[in-house]
Amino acid sequence: MKKLQEIKEQYDAIKQKMQDDGKAALGEAFKEFFAANPNVQEICWRQYTPYFNDGETCEFSVHEFVFHTKTKDDLADDESEEEDDWFYSWSKSTTQVDNVNTKMFERLLNGLPDDLFKDVFGDHSEIRATTDGFDVEEYEHE
């Protein structure tokens, strides 16, 4: 029993270290990206485990990364913004950035394990990354 408890403690410590290191590494990577790409103001994405998947196993996944040149605050007076779903209206009403740097960064992010994002930002989350850091909100989906 003692050995099992030791293994659990080691596992928990390693998992916590991966979360802490992952958050720091993601923070640094985003900081470097924003510094090299001042025209990009925000990167947002949703991540969640579906509640139902037509009988298939429901697995957590990170969804599309969207790069924008305007901040959510800049859209406060935008008539198209729906308060109950700012992500949708925000992504429809802002300029999406599409260049070599964003594609390379997106490939880098997509190459990371989804579990890293889940450990750092949680399940059923909507994340907005800016030069100030990460804003994480709970995301309700079908």
Tokens 């907005």 belong to 128
- At residue 81, the pLDDT reads 47
pLDDT at 131 over 80: yes
Each residue's pLDDT tens digit, 86-121: 554 444 444 556 677 888 999 999 999 999 999 999
Rounded Cα distance between 130 and 78, Å, is: 20
Q: What is the pTM of this model?
A: 0.76
Tokens 């509640």 belong to 51
Domain positions in the chain are 2-138
Q: 77 or 45, which is more confident?
A: 45
Rounded Cα distance between 76 and 64, Å, is: 24
Confidence class for position 76, pLDDT limits 50, 70, 90: low
- At residue 83, the pLDDT reads 47
Each residue's pLDDT tens digit, 14-62: 999 999 999 999 999 999 999 999 888 899 999 999 988 778 888 999 9
- At residue 96, the pLDDT reads 58
pLDDT at 1 over 50: yes
Please give the sequence-ordered ranges of beta strands (E in DSSP) within the chain, or none if there are none. Answer: 42-48, 61-62, 66-68, 125-130, 133-138
- Average pLDDT for the chain: 84
- At residue 138, the pLDDT reads 95
122 class by beta-carbon count within 10 Å (0-12 exposed, 13-18 middle, 19+ buried): middle
